Structure 1
Amino acid sequence: MNTSIETATDVVPARRAWLQAMSRGLFSHITSVQEQEEIIFSMLSLLPRSSVAALQSRMTSLLQFDVLGLLPDELAIHVLSFLPPGSLFTCSLVSRSLCGEHDWRWRKPTGVSARESSPEYAIPTSDDDEGMGDEEEDAVQSMLLDDSGYTSMDVDASFATAPGSPSTPTTRPTARPFSPSPRLNHTNAVYCLQLYTYPDTGTQVLFTGSKDRSVREWNLATGEVTRVIEGIHDSSILSICVHNGLLASGGSDHKVAVWDLTNNRLLKVIHDHMDSVLCVRFDDKKLVTCSKDRTVRTYTLPTFAPKHVLAQHRAAVNAVAISPLHIVSASGDRSVRLWDAETGALLKTFENHHWRGIAAIDFKYPFVLTGSSDKHLRLLDLRTSKGWTTSPGSEICQVCGNNTRLIEVRPPAREHEELVRSVALSHELGVSGSYDFTVKVWDRETGALMTDLVVSCGEDQKICIWDFAHGMDTSFVSL
């Protein structure tokens, strides 16, 4: 046993000696430190931006050390006593973060209020939002801070209006009672979801993907979990897509997994991306994925053979949406790009489509709906380059589709007040979800706000299902 310990402890010195020898060989003819720095910088420039960010994060420990922690407790407390209240509060937050990393537990003080101790008001354990990557202007900084948003929702005909029914709801949608079983509920933030109807039985279910690395299938009638898919991803599941009996999932472990729902077995694990997979979408012929590594990848079904790597974006590709003929991608570089799904050709680029990075996209040809970190939505008709936006003082150029400042556009009442994290588009409606804790329903043609829903979802692991047919006779509709 002592031998194994000695062998293990010898690994670091041996590795250090090997690195020193390699460095001497690499820099044997270079004596200037500046020249050595230039060589190292050139090598780093060949790596993906995410890898550079990860290396910078690892080097932090070499550049910093805890002066206060080296002091005896009495001296450290004496030093802290000279700090103003604001600085002391910042130090307490750092201490809390360290406790979370090491799983240290604080003894609860007596007299905690019911609001503070109630699970209903539980404070999220992390502010990280893994579903959106960097924006172009501060790519490395945002990756180091893991500042992100999320992809578009995928809705299984959820917003189709019944024949003969009014296009504008006459009553406010109501939340359908849905009480997940506590024993089988997710144990961390819910990042993605999709409603799905089994074609053979007509049964509608809900699939959810979580930071707890699992996908769950829910019975909407009972609120019970009917299937748990886990053990595939090594970290958070950021996006799911369900179609024709298959479920695809993308995660922060850089993986894409495809699951056969009928036979309940894993079909394929794809590990082509070099960073978190932020969105997955597929139809009968193709699987499309996008990533923080700035690429969109396509695969041919049913073999999942790689087909195209679309690499023209300048920042993380946060979301994709597809049709039989096209792929549209949205990025932190503020652009939307339209691709030919068969050839991979870039058909059109809409630069500066938003003022900040684009977090969400949905596509029903010829209309593209996007949501952004700038708190606004934009709908674009690809045929005419016309549309509407909730952003004041801007219009879509009819020639190039870019933002202009030529005509003042009055935004709808009560636009979102925070980042627009997810969007869904039907033939008559658009739906958006935001960090301001609201879901808004918009008229697809005019951009008019039709209804405003307040929900609780995401970090608190709650799932709210809204019934858009509440108060309407839908007995004549075949579901």
Structure 2
Amino acid sequence: MIYTGHGERTFEHDLSPIASPTYPVPGSGDQPPIIPRSTGAAARQAAAYACSSITGYDLVEPQRPCSGWLRGDSESGIGIALSSSTETFVQEGEIDSDVEIHGGFGREETKIVKVDFISRLPVELAIHVLSELDAATLATASLVSKHWAHVVENQHVWRESFLREKTTTYATGALVKPGSGLGVPDILPDNDWKEIYRVKEELDQHWREGKAKPVYLLGHTDSIYCLQFDENKIITGSRDRTIRVWDLKTFACKLVIGPPEVVKDLSFSLLYAEDGSPVHCAVLPDLEPVLGPDGHPRSPRRAHHSVPSLQAPALHHNASILCLQYDKEILVTGSSDATCIVYDITQNYRPVRRLKHHSAAVLDLSFDEKHIVTCSKDISICVWDRQTGTMLKQLRGHAGPVNAVQMRGNTIVSCSGDFRVKLWNIDTGKCIREFLGHSKGLACSQFSEDGRYIASAGNDKVIRIWDANTGECVREMKAHDNLVRSLHVDSISGRLVSGSYDSDIKVWDMETGTPLLDFPKWHSSWVLSAKSDYRRIVSSGQEPKILVLDFGAEIKNVEMLETAARHEVECMGKVQRTRRSHAREAGTVW
């Protein structure tokens, strides 16, 4: 039996590729049966109609069987003792003290006995039935009897309930795939799904209450323009011309990539303070002021000091790192030097090629398995072949700097200082829709995962949500007191995270436009980038520090929601052992 990740089960041999078996497939052990989709609904309806048509007619009183050997066959129902219509229909040994009297057959009354049907079912069927309940109902069901409690404790019950209740999304077009790093763990035989369900419920509650533990990561020496993160790491790009890779579990900085004049000539000051302590560390601020012995608020605690590896490849950026994106294979960065660089993550972030065509700073980029899309201060958008680095198209139509781009399938959304949001077809290179309504220049735009919605914001301090299909503005939120610099759409939860020059980070409900959370002044100046996942918000700004707001830090067993394999971290460990050989090949200084 194979679990497909969407609440369905298929069989590899006998039933494949038939979508549904003709007859019920018996369960085995703790596995529930497979019930055919066509189960005689028409016959049931006909029977129900026949029953209703004879309502009101006198029924012939059934004859009481007299053979003693007929008793005791509980599965076939032969052992049911029939009495007159005024007596209770009870199987021997199953009399319940709580008997209800209802209108019965004909003009007389029949006693109806409450029967514990779960205890009478085969265990695999009982599991299948109870797995249709949500957590609250399961908790109630476990109080019915010891047998019900035993069935409810089965991991299959909680797995099915979790995958049904906790994998639905706001705007992704599909259920969350287990093991994809989105808060739904891999399907493993030893998972405690009841505990996983509890952890997810508590995490959702922390999001509703805004209960997050803050941590600052220090190490950069100038503004941090861009970042991306997953369950294991954060990658940041800065005005100090470096790219840094951080371990999100330990808060250690693992790698610094930069030009030789920064990494080689300033290597000591890049790693150590004047007192000899490592400059890369985590700062744990107190949520409320804590007074020291002198009666003054104590300084924030510094912890998790680290000394990263240094990499100075011959192929590097000569100016600020303004934008970046990565997946499991590559990292792409864009810079004020008007170029992009593609790095091979699987080979210790070895630079592979430079993308060069823009005539001014590359302000944003996006890529998928086929294309890399970049936008620039030169008011153009370029489409590149991911595998070869060949430029395929240059899109023109904006009248100002193109500040943001994002891809969904063969569609690009862009926004510009010309007040406009545009939708482009990658195949034709044509603008297919324009969204008008903002009164000032735009700084950021985001697609929902399924391509249904677009969020945009900028200097008019307003966030607008657009229907990508009709061009209609479906929602408008007065968001901040200054320019909205960053937007991030979480298409799973429906949360929209915004960051502003007013130094605030806010969380909104995409569907209603309702403000959910506000984190004011956690940055001392402009917020330049803010992103989120199922557990954290990570942001950066004009000051050289990264803010991590962890909603799961205080939750026991929160790591149970994570993907089991730490592919990227393992990969990093392997390449660290061979970094010297790569350094010689790429001209890297360590």
Partner of residue 488, structure 2: 424
Mapped contact 2:217–2:547 kept (Cα < 8 A): no
Q: Secondary structure at the match of 1:170?
A: helix
2:402 to 313, 317, 339: 317
Partner of residue 467, structure 1: 550
Mapped contact 1:255–1:272 kept (Cα < 8 A): yes
* Alpha-carbon distance between aligned partners in 2 of 1:192 and 1:311, rounded to the nearest angstrom: 25
**Structure 1 residue 349, shift from structure 2 partner:** 1.1
Partner of residue 226, structure 2: 192
* Alpha-carbon distance between aligned partners in 1 of 2:420 and 2:183, rounded to the nearest angstrom: 29
Partner of residue 40, structure 1: none
Partner of residue 281, structure 2: none
Partner of residue 355, structure 2: 270
Q: Which moved more, 1:255-264 or 1:376-385?
A: 376-385
Mapped contact 2:213–2:553 kept (Cα < 8 A): no
1:477 and 2:477 equivalent?
Answer: no
Residue identity opposite 1:420 in structure 2 = V
* Alpha-carbon distance between aligned partners in 2 of 1:211 and 1:468, rounded to the nearest angstrom: 29
What count of residue pairs does the alignment treat as equivalent?
289
Larger Rg computed on CA atoms: 2
* Alpha-carbon distance between aligned partners in 1 of 2:217 and 2:364, rounded to the nearest angstrom: 28
**Structure 1 residue 175, shift from structure 2 partner:** 3.4
Partner of residue 381, structure 1: 467
Q: Aligned pair in 2 of structure 1 residues 170, 196: CA closer, same or farther (>3 Å)?
A: closer
Structure 1 gap segments, 5+ residues each: 1-156, 198-203, 392-414
Partner of residue 256, structure 2: 228
1:438 and 2:499 equivalent?
Answer: no
Pairing 1:53-452 to 2, within 5 Å after superposition = 165=201, 169-180=207-218, 185-196=219-230, 204-231=232-259, 232-264=316-348, 265-351=350-436, 353-364=437-448, 365-384=451-470, 385-391=472-478, 415-427=479-491, 428-452=494-518
* Alpha-carbon distance between aligned partners in 2 of 1:221 and 1:331, rounded to the nearest angstrom: 37
* Alpha-carbon distance between aligned partners in 2 of 1:347 and 1:160, rounded to the nearest angstrom: 35
Mapped contact 2:364–2:403 kept (Cα < 8 A): yes
**Structure 1 residue 386, shift from structure 2 partner:** 4.0
* Alpha-carbon distance between aligned partners in 2 of 1:342 and 1:218, rounded to the nearest angstrom: 37
What TM-score comes out, normalization by structure 1 length?
A: 0.57
What TM-score comes out, normalization by structure 2 length?
A: 0.46
* Alpha-carbon distance between aligned partners in 2 of 1:300 and 1:421, rounded to the nearest angstrom: 29
* Alpha-carbon distance between aligned partners in 1 of 2:333 and 2:222, rounded to the nearest angstrom: 17
* Alpha-carbon distance between aligned partners in 2 of 1:319 and 1:475, rounded to the nearest angstrom: 34
What is the percent sequence identity of the aligned residues? 33
**Structure 1 residue 179, shift from structure 2 partner:** 4.0
- The one-character-per-residue Cα deviations of 1:378-401 (angstroms, maximum 9, x if unpaired) are 11121342421124xxxxxxxxxx
Residue identity opposite 2:429 in structure 1 = G
Mapped contact 2:181–2:562 kept (Cα < 8 A): no
* Alpha-carbon distance between aligned partners in 2 of 1:421 and 1:354, rounded to the nearest angstrom: 14
Mapped contact 2:380–2:398 kept (Cα < 8 A): yes
Residue identity opposite 1:416 in structure 2 = H
* Alpha-carbon distance between aligned partners in 1 of 2:435 and 2:512, rounded to the nearest angstrom: 21
Structure 2 gap segments, 5+ residues each: 1-179, 185-195, 260-315, 524-539, 564-590
- The one-character-per-residue Cα deviations of 1:229-252 (angstroms, maximum 9, x if unpaired) are 112111111111112321111111
Mapped contact 1:173–1:466 kept (Cα < 8 A): no
* Alpha-carbon distance between aligned partners in 1 of 2:226 and 2:256, rounded to the nearest angstrom: 15
Q: Which moved more, 1:166-175 or 1:443-452?
A: 166-175
Q: Aligned pair in 2 of structure 1 residues 217, 382: CA closer, same or farther (>3 Å)?
A: same
What is the CA RMSD across the aligned residues, in angstroms?
A: 2.3
Q: Secondary structure at the match of 1:262?
A: helix
Mapped contact 1:359–1:421 kept (Cα < 8 A): yes
